Amino acid sequence: MTDRAAAPTTLRCGPYPIERARIAAFAAALGDPHPAYTDPAAARALGHPDVIAPPTYLATLAGHAEDRLLAEQTGFTTTEGVVHRAQTLRHTRPAHAGDVLHATVRLAAATTLAGRPLLTLDCTFRDEHGAPVATTTSSLLCPAADPRPARHPLDSTGSEHP
């Protein structure tokens, strides 16, 4: 990941159709029984046009968009070994079944931490009319460009212990 000038720093992704079945499966995986995630009548009673996605649902979509942007980076070959350090989500409104979202993911900052690339990625979601839905910001610690084999901290020779 040394030649960032040649790599795109912004990428548009989507469409991401938001579907009832996927929302229900995500809510079940979270163990969140809120009826607005599975029952359209309960969601409408709260003022929504259909079931709503749990707030963290868009983090999964952001992950997809981030992976696509990272794949475009020079020298970045895999997301294996990437450590997801932090993520924030800022919602303008809940995503709901029937939405078709588009994401714009942007490399907002790049630095190093302990000799490894530390990236900050912003991913903005908009609905089919261009109205904002949410923005996520992720902090990713990537593998070093020249990874060296790990050695036991007490072994200065690099040899194996019996």
* Percentage with pLDDT > 90 across the chain: 72
The answer to whether the beta carbons of residues 16 and 103 sit under 8 Å apart is yes
* Percentage with pLDDT > 70 across the chain: 85
| DSSP H helical ranges for 11-53 | 20-30, 40-45
Sheet holding 100-113, edge to edge: 10-17, 100-113, 116-126, 132-141, 83-91
As a whole number of angstroms, the distance between CA 41 and CA 17 comes to 21
Q: What is the pLDDT of residues 52-80, one digit of tens each?
A: 999 999 999 999 999 999 988 876 767 78
User: For the chain, what is the mean pLDDT?
Assistant: 88
158 pLDDT tier (thresholds 50, 70, 90)? low
- For the entire predicted model, the pTM comes to 0.82
Domains for the chain: give ranges and CATH numbers: 4-18+55-141 (3.10.129.10)
Q: What is the pLDDT of residues 8-18, one digit of tens each?
A: 899 999 999 99
Report whether pLDDT(28) > 50.
yes
- Cis link prior to 15 (omega < 30° from 0)? yes
